[in-house]
Amino acid sequence: MLIKNNNFIGQDPQRGPQLNGQRGSIGLFLIIVMGVAIMAAIWFFKPKPTLRPKIEASPPVVDVILAKPAQYRAIITSQGTVAPKRQINLVNEVAGRIVKVSPDFEAGRFFKKDEVLLRLDDRDYRNTVAIADTQIVVAKRELALEQGQARQAKRVWRDLGSKAANSLSLREPQLEAAKAGLRSAQAERSRALLNVEKTSISVPFDGRIDVKSVALGEFVAAGTTLATVYDSSMVEVRLPLNNQQLALTGFIPGEDISKQQLGSEPKVVLSATVGDRTYRWHATNARMDASIDSTTRFYHLTAEIKNPFDKKIFEQPLLVGLFVSADIQGRVYDDVIRLPQKALVNDKQVYVVSADNTLLLKDIRIIDRRDNMAIVESSISLGEKIVVSDPRVLKEGLQVNTNELINLARDKKDQLLDLTKHTASLDSIKESSNN
């Protein structure tokens, strides 16, 4: 009979598990020793780092310009529509049929002062004059009779030796009535002659026909609007100004400009595009409105242009209804600085570079903005370095190096020179307009 046994023949069945446990402990020990040896080898043979020299960070470079305070004359820009200074409705005072029309009585045509534009049928009015002449003759006869009777009454009472005659006995009331009748007849004749004159319709100034409302042969009642006409010797443009613009002009609202101690009246240059060309017109006078617009809350400066249709003065006539831009010469500021708007910090400060090349903030007050530049007042002195780089990446106290922008400074100078030329041009043109 065979007996199954996992143990070898001649081995002790209890000793087998002990041998297996010893073999496992020896293997684990060998693995730990080998791992430690490998880690020691890696640590011993690893490359050692090379020490690099310490590099100090250099200060950032900022663009600067040198402060050059200068004089600045403000130029205010506004817009408006050309309108006649004087425009009226031409109305007839007497009724009648239009029997004659002047060739100048057409929309757009010019006419002279007291030129007869329309003539009404005056035959009825001349007949009235003839009737008035007859009434004058009758009144003169009545007056002569009363004068004779009054003299006769005086003789009668004188012959009677009475000195107590009253005015009625002396026919004094009748004499006064006869005199009044003559004056009334003469007044009726004057009125009839005036009506005859009113049949010839004219305007008391040189002007232009804007709208024509009647034609030859038409019967018009008294008070009919025959046309709309305006004075061609002067036009005007109302230019709105907000509070900031008003401050730049230096005017006091509600007061007469000519009475304000600001020198000469403001110079205003108008410009507009007509066809494919841009033209300029120079105002001869200006005035401020006495009140503020209740709707827009704007102030208004009204510029007047004399002889706007005179080709000897203007190449292009200044047409009524044309929308124009206006450059208004304002007040003069001393010791202001022109800076790029991008250099401003919250529109209240700018960075300057101190003597030890650190950034400082200085307060400013913006006077005007023009062509992406800001004109500012500040305590910045002549020659100080003003930072024009982006201020968003800067902070006060930062150490910096500077790069002076010569070209920007030259551009600034050129702009000031251009402004001077523009002011001189305004002066010379106004003188020519007055002449």
Return the amino acid letter for 14.
Q
Gyration radius from the chain CA atoms: 52
Q: Bridge-partner residues for 228, per DSSP?
A: 89, 211
Calpha distance 267→285 (Å, rounded): 8
Q: Give burial (CB, 10 Å; 0-12/13-18/19+) of 361.
A: middle
Q: Bridge-partner residues for 368, per DSSP?
A: 375
Question: By mean pLDDT, which of 63-67, 113-117, 151-155, 276-280 is the weakest?
Answer: 151-155
Calpha distance 110→209 (Å, rounded): 6
Contact 296, 360 (CB under 8 A): no
| Choices 1.10.1040.10, 2.40.420.20, 3.30.360.10, 3.40.50.970: CATH for 63-72+333-434 | 2.40.420.20
Categorize the per-residue pLDDT at 433 as very low, low, confident or very high, splitting at 50, 70 and 90: very low
Query: What CA–CA distances, in Å, run from 410 to 26, 68, 79, 156, 390?
Result: 90, 11, 32, 112, 20
Question: By mean pLDDT, which of 149-158, 176-185, 270-279, 358-367 is the weakest?
Answer: 149-158
Calpha distance 139→178 (Å, rounded): 7
Q: pLDDT digit string (tens) for 307-341?
A: 999 999 999 999 999 999 999 988 889 999 999 99
Fold for 76-84+231-331, please state it. Answer: Elongation Factor Tu (Ef-tu); domain 3 (2.40.30)
Q: What is the DSSP string of 64-84?
A: EEE---EEEEEEEEEEEEEEE
Categorize the per-residue pLDDT at 176 as very low, low, confident or very high, splitting at 50, 70 and 90: confident
Calpha distance 245→75 (Å, rounded): 9
Fold for 93-121+199-223, please state it. Answer: OB fold (Dihydrolipoamide Acetyltransferase, E2P) (2.40.50)
Given a cut of 70, whether residue 13 has pLDDT beyond it is no
Q: pLDDT digit string (tens) for 253-276?
A: 777 776 654 455 568 999 999 999
Tokens standing for 142?
């009545």
**pLDDT given for residue 35 in this prediction:** 74
Q: Give burial (CB, 10 Å; 0-12/13-18/19+) of 45.
A: exposed
**pLDDT given for residue 18 in this prediction:** 56
